[in-house]
Amino acid sequence: MTFEIGRDFNNYKHFKLFGFTLFKSKLSVAYPDYVIVFSAKYKQGAEWGSVAAMGKERKGDNFIIKFFRGNKDFTVYRTSSLEQAKEKALALSEFLGVEIRSKN
């Protein structure tokens, strides 16, 4: 799944298979006041998939970009690379004309 965010904020969610859009639907998200990039740890249980064969659980770090409007948020992007998250957040910030804030 990918998001298409336009300058006019007429947004869509694309459902893709092998890089081709199967269908898209309207994405309802408010224009952000600001963007935040932060680190998050996750744990995935071993109830399903390849994780079950490897042990009890899988742990890791992600870097997440979120839009914030008031007290509402929307996760835009998730990656394991801090540099990639910073690049995407900077591009979004410039594209939308909003600031990047620290989570602290």
pLDDT value of residue 48: 57
* Ordered per-residue pLDDT tens for the chain, 104 residues: 888 888 788 889 999 999 899 999 998 888 999 999 998 876 666 565 554 555 555 566 789 999 999 999 999 999 999 899 999 999 999 999 999 987 65
pLDDT value of residue 64: 92
pLDDT value of residue 88: 93
Spatial CB neighbours of 100, under 8 Å, sequence gap ≥ 6: 34, 35, 36, 37, 89, 90, 93
pTM above 0.75, yes or no: no
Rounded Cα distance between 47 and 49, Å, is 7
pLDDT value of residue 19: 86
Helix (H, G, I), strand (E, B) or coil at 29: coil
- Residue 89 and residue 67 in contact, taking contact as beta carbons nearer than 8 Å: no
